[in-house]
Structure 1
Amino acid sequence: MASLYDRFILPRLLACGCSSSPVMKQRAKVVPKAAGRVLELGIGLGLNLAFYDPDRVTRVTGVDPAPELRARALTAARDPRLSVAIEDGTAEALPFEAASFDTVVCTFTLCSVHTPPAALAEARRVLRPTGTLLFCEHGLAPDADIAKWQRRLEPLWKRIAGGCHLTRPIATAIAAAGFDLQQVDSMYVPNTPRITAWNEWGSATVR
């Protein structure tokens, strides 16, 4: 059973951090590219739903293990024409058949899944051979001084931020999971604490 912190405080903290203007601008760079049948890993509060193009997307299926977040996603802003289903599930054990989706969207999720390689392997499994992984994630900074503070603060950060890690690599982990990176951009997101500001986004296809 979720603690009182997870049920009432954490969703508010996530809403504050994950819906900031700089972070939403990053989401807007990736999500509108989704097409066909879409799976969103860790749909959370449903903040990406406003960015899907209903003229390109057949249906969005979102999975998340947290009932408190799924409930918020159900009422999140979206185009009324967008078909959405939200299901209980974890990224490491997706309840879908192989080659079921045209696009998998993964935004600010790899930081908090228990086992990123397993989550990426599942994303690869459920993607059709011609499908696309769209990602936008914060992770390990390339600058030694910032990375040092990320490592120092990560144990405490995980406790207050729902298991979020600060030091996970992004593009290299995606490539190691059997994807071919098609496009990768990166930068420190402005007006964001440096320990969480390093962001990598782009697209990848199944190798």
Structure 2
Amino acid sequence: MTSFYDRKILPRLLTCACTSPPMMKQRAKIVPQASGKVLELGIGMGLNLAFYDPAKVSAVVGVDPSPELRALAQAAPRPEGLKVEVDEGTAEALPFESGSFDTVVCTFTLCSVHNPAAALAEARRVLKPGGRFLFCEHGLAPDADVAKWQRFWDPLWSRMAGGCHLTRPVASAIAAAGLKLQGVETMYVPGTPRIAGWNEWGTALAA
């Protein structure tokens, strides 16, 4: 059974953090590229739904283990005509057949899954050959001084932020899962503490 903090306080904290203008701007860079049948890993509060193009997307299927966040996703704004399904599930054990999706969208999710390698392997499995993995994630910074403080704060940060980690690599982990990177952009997100602000986003293809 989840704690009062997880049920009542954490969703509000996540809403404040994840809906900041810089974070929403990052989502807007990657989500509109989705097409066909789309799987969103860790749909959370449904913050990405507003950015999908229903003219390009046949349906969005989102998975998340949290009933509180799934309820928020069900009620989240989205363009008229966008078909959305929100299911219980974890990124590490997706309840879908192999080759089921044209696009997998993963934004600010790899930081908090229990096993990023397993989640990425599952994303690759459910993608059709040549399908696209669209990602926008925060993670381990390339600057030694920032990375030092990320490692220092990570244990406390993880406990307070619902299992979010500051020290996970992004692009290198995606490549290690057998997804072929097509382009990666990086920066520190403006208005965000540098320990949580290193952002990597781009596209990778399933073999």
Category of TM-score, reference length = shorter chain:
over 0.9
**Structure 2: runs of 5+ lacking an equivalent:** none
Q: Which residue of 2 aligns with 1:130?
A: 130
Deviation at 1:45, TM superposition (A): 0.4
CA–CA distance in 1 between the matches of 2:36 and 2:43? Answer: 17
Deviation at 1:73, TM superposition (A): 0.4
Instruction: Determine if the alignment matches structure 1 residue 198 to structure 2 residue 191.
Output: no
Q: Which residue of 2 aligns with 1:159?
A: 159
Structure 1 segments (4+ residues) deviating >3 Å: none
CA–CA distance in 2 between the matches of 1:131 and 1:194? Answer: 33
State the AA in 2 paired with 1:106: C
CA–CA distance in 2 between the matches of 1:17 and 1:146? Answer: 20
1:84-95 pair list within 5 angstroms: 84-95=84-95
Q: Which residue of 1 aligns with 2:104?
A: 104
Alignment deviations for residues 69-125 of structure 1 (CA, whole Å, 9 cap, x no partner): 000001111112100000000000000000000000000000000000000000000
CA–CA distance in 2 between the matches of 1:12 and 1:82? Answer: 26
1:64-79 pair list within 5 angstroms: 64-79=64-79
CA–CA distance in 2 between the matches of 1:16 and 1:145? Answer: 27
State the AA in 2 paired with 1:127: L
SS of residue in 2 equivalent to 1:183: strand
Q: Percent identity?
A: 71
Alignment deviations for residues 136-190 of structure 1 (CA, whole Å, 9 cap, x no partner): 0000001111100000000000000000000000000000000110010000000
Deviation at 1:130, TM superposition (A): 1.8
SS of residue in 2 equivalent to 1:82: coil
Normalised TM-score (structure 1) = 0.99
Alignment deviations for residues 10-64 of structure 1 (CA, whole Å, 9 cap, x no partner): 0000000011000000000000000000000000000000000000000000000
Q: Which residue of 1 aligns with 2:50?
A: 50
> How many residues matched?
207
CA–CA distance in 1 between the matches of 2:101 and 2:39? Answer: 6
SS of residue in 1 equivalent to 2:78: coil
CA–CA distance in 2 between the matches of 1:85 and 1:4? Answer: 27
SS of residue in 1 equivalent to 2:141: coil
Deviation at 1:206, TM superposition (A): 1.2
Q: Which residue of 1 aligns with 2:171?
A: 171
Instruction: Determine if the alignment matches structure 1 residue 35 to structure 2 residue 64.
Output: no
